[in-house]
Structure 1
Amino acid sequence: MTAMKQDWIRVGDWVSGTSLEDEKFIGYVESIDLYGMAKVRVTQCDHDGAVGEVLVASLAKMDKLAEYVPSEEADLRSLLDLALMTRDQAWFEDLYASLRMAQFNLGGKENGPGFDYRSTVSRIKID
């Protein structure tokens, strides 16, 4: 079973599980060795001292967390700000398209803000 989970959980994945010291944690995988052991950077843990540290855990005692796909307008706007700060144009364009779709989808519902074609962004060349 370890080999099957090793194929399923990869470096960079967000996971939850139990460490070798029996600490329950959430974090992301930094590395995986050939023996089914992973080093996980901890972001949440029942042991406060482990937060921000790297724990070792068996892949058999970890589960991959579901990927987060933002769909709420407020979440998309926050991520747009982050894309701007990191100057990631491709990510910004993807998020902007998702935001426009979310606004369009709300237009058909009662009390939704609707979709206003006049609010589209025009491009301006700055010398």
Structure 2
Amino acid sequence: MDADSPFFEHRHTNYVPTPPEIEQLKEIIAQREVVVNEIDAKLDDLDRLRKELETTKSFNTDYISWHRDLTTIARRLPADILSVVFMTFLSLFPPHSSPHPAVTISHVCRAWRSLALEMPLLWTQISI
């Protein structure tokens, strides 16, 4: 609260303002309402700006992500090395585990799915 209000000393009292003081209070209230409305407008602008920035950030984060994905070493591994990796991955799981490790591998991306489906050894222990 502002101590500069001419009515500050009457806060939390049962003081009854005179008619001229009521007019003065109405003017003080009107001035502060203008300030509050200006602040609300600025906050609305900030909310809009925040939403715009979040949208732009999200777009750029996705843009970075898919460009970064293109640089991963897994994309450059030859099929024969990936096959060894897949078989090693398979050996880490007990027989009849669920989901089957080959299924997990085949759900990573199209290239891995295609390679996994071309590897009969990967599918020799299927639980029914």
Q: TM-score, normalised by structure 2?
A: 0.25
Q: TM-score, normalised by structure 1?
A: 0.25
Structure whose CA Rg is larger: 2
Q: Indicate the structure with greater strand content.
A: 1
